[in-house]
């Protein structure tokens, strides 16, 4: 009995509230018509853009590795040839994943031999200023004889001859190194000297 009275109370209260709301609704004095401007149909068929895995990866958070490399660029940790050894180990680790191995000049039975090595161009500004120097580069002689992954290890004076050295070495060709009769990729270190005649 108490539940029936409670239900009747709720229904009565609801009806009373609705009646109050209906009484308070103001009447509109004027009616305003709104019309949207006609929209031009797009020309040609439209396609919904798809998101590729590459685009999704580009939107992902950046890796810490490039930031670390950028932060350490140009720092000398007193490792002498240790940096090249570390680079060789890292390159081998990466290439082992795809089935290739990069050997050092000491590990290979027959090291690569130059087939075509044009001299680097002497920077005009350095020639004008009478500057001399050297650039030591590290690169991989691939199994096709091309120079890959060319980068400066050391230069004196820094930055003066780097670009000329990188451009020259990138264009060099070699007879690839051989291990057990088969061509193999070999990491090479070469010093280019820039001297005036």
The per-residue pLDDT for range 44-69, each reduced to its tens digit, is 555 544 444 444 444 444 444 444 44
The whole-number pLDDT of residue 79 equals 54
Structure tokens at 154: 């050391």
Top-confidence residue, 151 or 93: 151
Q: Which helix (H) or strand (E) holds 133?
A: strand 133-141
Is 192:121 a contact under the CB 8 Å cutoff?
no
Top-confidence residue, 153 or 89: 153
Write down all domains in the chain, each with its CATH number in brackets: 104-197 (3.30.2420.10)
The whole-number pLDDT of residue 197 equals 80
Mean pLDDT, rounded, for 28-53? 45
Q: pTM surpassing 0.75?
A: no
The whole-number pLDDT of residue 57 equals 42
The whole-number pLDDT of residue 40 equals 52
Is 63:69 a contact under the CB 8 Å cutoff?
no
Q: Which helix (H) or strand (E) holds 191?
A: strand 182-194
């Amino acid at each position: 009995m108490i539940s029936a009275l409670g239900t009747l109370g709720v229904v009565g209260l609801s009806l009373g509230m609705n009646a109050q709301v209906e009484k308070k609704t103001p009447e509109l004095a004027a009616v305003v018509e709104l019309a949207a401007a006609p929209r031009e149909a797009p020309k040609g068929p439209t396609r919904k853009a798809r998101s590729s895995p590459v685009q999704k990866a580009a939107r992902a958070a950046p890796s810490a590795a490039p930031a670390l490399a950028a932060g350490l660029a140009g720092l000398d940790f007193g490792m002498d040839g240790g940096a090249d050894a570390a680079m060789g180990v890292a390159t081998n680790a990466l290439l082992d994943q795809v089935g290739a191995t990069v050997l050092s000049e000491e590990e290979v039975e027959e090291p690569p031999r130059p087939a075509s090595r044009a001299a680097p161009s002497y920077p005009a500004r350095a020639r004008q200023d009478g500057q001399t120097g050297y650039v030591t580069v590290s690169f991989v002689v691939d199994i096709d004889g091309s120079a890959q992954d060319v980068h400066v290890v050391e230069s004196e004076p820094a930055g003066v001859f780097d670009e000329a050295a990188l451009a020259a070495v990138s264009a060099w060709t070699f007879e690839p190194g051989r291990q057990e009769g088969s061509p193999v990729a070999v990491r090479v270190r070469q010093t280019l000297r820039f001297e005036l005649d």
